[in-house]
Each structure stands twice: as structure tokens, then as C-alpha cells.
Structure 1
């Protein structure tokens, strides 16, 4: 069993700086060896801030750097498949951002290669690790709502209200728009709560203006709003609405709303990404809706007055996401969520895109 994991990290996004690299630098069993990004100055700044690491601008140079055990791929989606496959060919453990790939075929390749290599693999569906979500999952698992009937989930953000070019809304870079970017988070949570999806309907919207690509080339603009309606394998119903075009007047410019209904009760959750992260519920025969305090064994010492302090503590101090990935490697155990979970979400995304294009309900059995 390994005593230390030597990591390379590809991508210099805000999330790399806020979640992944701080988590690795704080883990006693991890060593950040190299950071790679397109901007040499930014890569150098990240390398200095989060360890005595090499700063690189060439992904091959990072992957061929001697002694790396694992790689974190935090890049635009079009690079997920080639970089993951290259890392797996070298026998590395891989954490790859969501959505796992541009399409189902790529996701299947990545899962098959990871299983053949016998390495640890993870897709970090961030919000599934937050205390409110984990408490909801625990309550539903304990039977709080009884037989699941339906869920409603809304992720509202203002991330696309500006008009500059963003790769997340470029088909060639992202594969899909807000459907894959934000929708993948809530699809994973929905399936954690209610199980597998049987069929999907979807409407996609494109409301925002987008600036030209930096290289001047034309590109296909993808969705900045998505509404999904689906049926679960257990016949429960679900609705998810994700939008990057909402004006949400909070410090982080986004809100999360979740409702879960069943034969015995209802659960609600609201997070304003400022000071509110609340779970409430009502059960048959127990009176009106009341606030439910998130259990202390879920908080695990995380600060709770400000949501972003919770966020930092969950990912920098607890064994979730990047830290959980390292701990799984050290223990010789599977990581979670893994590429199989990423493929499950990818299949629902593919069904949703087809449903939106054809104006029909698409069974998951038709998505190979």
C-alpha cells in the first residue's frame, strides 16, 4: 500500500485554485509535483501557492514527468477523453472533472480503460458532498419520505449574463452547455436519491448573447437554460431546471432549491450560497413543515455560518472529493463517485439532448 501519492494537476481554473489544489496540499498523503496550464504565469503562480511544484504548459510533459502516481484533469470538456486515456495508458489514477466526456462513447472508453488499468478513478460531482445534500440522502435512505413520488430541483445562476466568450457555451469545447455543466451535478444527486432514470424529456434555451472566440473562428453556441422532466426506474417522477441566465442577488450569484415528495412525507432544501443552507421537512401525522437540523456527524466540524466557509472546510479538511480521491488510493479502495457514475450521468445527458432536438421522450434503453 502506498504511503504517499505524487500528483499532477492539469488546468488553472478558479476551482483548481479554490478546491482541488488546496485539498491536495492539505492532505498528509499527497504531494503536488506539477501543475499544467495554458498560461505559463498562471501555472507558475498556482505551483508556488500550493507547493514546491513544477509549472508546465505542455500536457505531455506533465504526463511524462517521472514518478507521478495520479493526475487531476480540470480542463475544458473536449480534453477529458484524450488526457484521461493518455494518463491511464501510463498507469495513473485519474480524477476527471464533470461531465466526464463529450459523449457516451468517450465515457464508455474511459470507464473501460480505467477498469482495465486497475486504477482509482473519480468524477467530482461537487454538490453531492455538501452537508445539506448528504443529510437529505441520509433521511431519504432512512425512509423519511416513504415511497418516492417526485422531486423538483432548481439550480439558478447568473454565470452567463455577461456577453464575453466562454468555452462552456462553445459546442466544440464543452459538448453541451448548462445542461452538462450544472445539470450534471443535479442529475447525479437526483439518481443518488431516487435511483436510475428510465426516460427523459428536455427543453433547451439559448437566451444570452455570446462574444466571438478569441481566435475569431465561428462556433456553435449551446444552451444556457435547460428544463428536464424524467421518469425513474421506480416510476417516480423528476423535474430539474438549471439556468445560467438568472439574476440571483446573493454573494455568489446562485441558489439551489430541492424538493423530494413521497408517500410518508416531504423534504425541502434551500441554499443561497451566502448564509443559508437549510433542510426542512414534514411527515404524515407529525404536523407542519419544520426545520431539520443537519446532524453533527455530517458537519464534522465544518463552519456553518457562511456557506463558502462550509464549502472550503468540506473540500480542504474532510475526506471528500480530491482528498477522498487521495485517501482511496492510499487505502487501495475505489473512489466515489467514479467513472461508472460519470457514464450514468452522460447517458442521461445524451438522452436529454436527443429529446430536446426531436421533441419527444427518450428512453434510456435507446442510449448505447
Structure 2
């Protein structure tokens, strides 16, 4: 944590307009309700105006339309939450361990390490691995043969990256991530001969600035590659199947699954526990609400949702029964429509005349 940064310095790092005392020293971030004179908070929307009016913070990041409700020094920005991310990073700079290779690490003879690399305890780097400058590989990580890590990439601990994968610059993998495991490929044999494993011969390619949450898995391609383009962000426990392509800057929340050979466009936002079937595509700038089930291609940008909201169990039971009756109800309605559209006896006699 910082010992104190002047409001003016914080404003410069987020291009904010200061309204109030630019010399106030800020040493920490805090929620509006918990902040003191040494803290900075943020207000994202009108739901928090009461907390803003009552805050004791030394400074607050706000939008211009909330300025009248601010009782303290304001940093006026277009997006307070986005600015908060930069301010928090300024006040809480990451502590980098000393460069070097831990004595318990196991490195193949031909491993290539860049400058200022950190290799933690019990790390295994197999033959042909290349590690870029300033990379940090945490305890218990395993990097497969001929895999390359770009500059400033960080593997936090117990991360596995399979053979022949390509990892870009500034990639972050949180504990338990597995990149490059085999995709789920099996061919059904005749009779009772069972399933035959299909070799997974592709790679995983991660672009620059990708972030993978804890216990997330990205399978290698079956023949081609599984690709996450630059700036993709995956939450914890996301599963990406083989040969999937995720477009640049797309963000996917936790427990989402994407089946194989699906293409997701750029700048998409996918809510938690979403299930996306295989061999389809999503356009750029698609937003899927949490628990959405996607079974077909989405060609147009926009927001989509499919789950039912929570409701009292008695109502849910009635609606579930009615759902099972939809097909018979549909057929009855079609018959009624057909009967009402058919000409009556009088109309038929006039036609005969």
C-alpha cells in the first residue's frame, strides 16, 4: 500500500478533473461507507448517492452528473469503475519477487530463459521451453515441451501448460489453470467395441493480455488450434473446448462451458453458468445473460437470455406441468384455426352457384 499519493497525481493517471483539494494525500481505497480522510472511493450510479452524500472519504471518483451530491474532493471521470482500477493499481503496486531459479525447479538442458525471470519451487520446464523476459512462474507449475511464454507473463501456481502451446505477452494464469489438455474426442466403434480416443494434435494459442481465472481449462485443438485472441478474460472454472476461437476482448464469467469448434466474436460479454453448444458462431458484441443456453448460431450483436427467473415453488410446479402441455395445446390451437378458416355450408352453396 502507498504511503500517500496526492489527489492531483491520481487524477493525472486517469485523466480526471479535480473539483476540490488537489493536494489531499490518499493512501488507500475503500467503500464509500467505510472510507476515511486518507481513502478514495468511487460512485458508479445513482443507487449509491445516499452513501456518497454521507461519505467521509478524502476523495471520490464520480461522474459529472453526481457532482452536486459529493461532499468531498471529486475526481470527475466518464467511467468511475474503470478509473478506480487504475487508481487501485497505483496505490497498491504489485510486489515482484527477486529474479532467479529455485533450487527445487527442474529444467531441461535446452530451456531458454529471458532476462529477470522468476522460476518458483518445484517448477518443471520440459525440453524446448522458451520463457520470455520478466516472466514469473509460480510454485508447482508444469510447462510442456516446445511451449513458449511471452514477455511479462505470470503463472501464479500449480498451472499446467501442455506441449507446443503459444502464450502471448502479459498473460496471467491463476492457480489451477490447465491449458493444452486433450480435447474431448472419442469415436464410437461398432457393437460393444466401445470408444476409440481421437488424437488431439492441435495447440492452444493465447494472445497478449489474456487472463485465465482459477481452475479454468482450455483444451488443445483436435487438428487445428484452440485460439483466445488478445485481451480475452475468463473467470474461474470456465471450460473452453477444442478448436474454439474466442475473439479479442471478449469476457466470460465463471462456470461457463463452450463446446468444441465454436467461434465467439470480439467484444462479447458472456454471463456465468452459460452453456454454448459446439460448431456454431456468435457475432461480435453479443451479450449473453447468466445461465443462458445457446444452441444455435447468433448472427447479430445484442443482448440475449434464456433462463427462467426464480419463483415460488408452487408456481414453478404449475408452470412446469403447463410447459409439458405446450405441444398438445399448440395442436389444438392449430385445429381451431383451421376450422375457423374453412368456409361454412352457406359459403360453399354460394360457390356452387
TM range (shorter): under 0.3
Question: TM-score normalized by structure 1?
Answer: 0.21
- For the pair shown, the structure with the greater C-alpha radius of gyration is 2
Greater RCO, 1 or 2 (C-alpha within 8 Å, sep 6+): 1
Question: TM-score normalized by structure 2?
Answer: 0.21
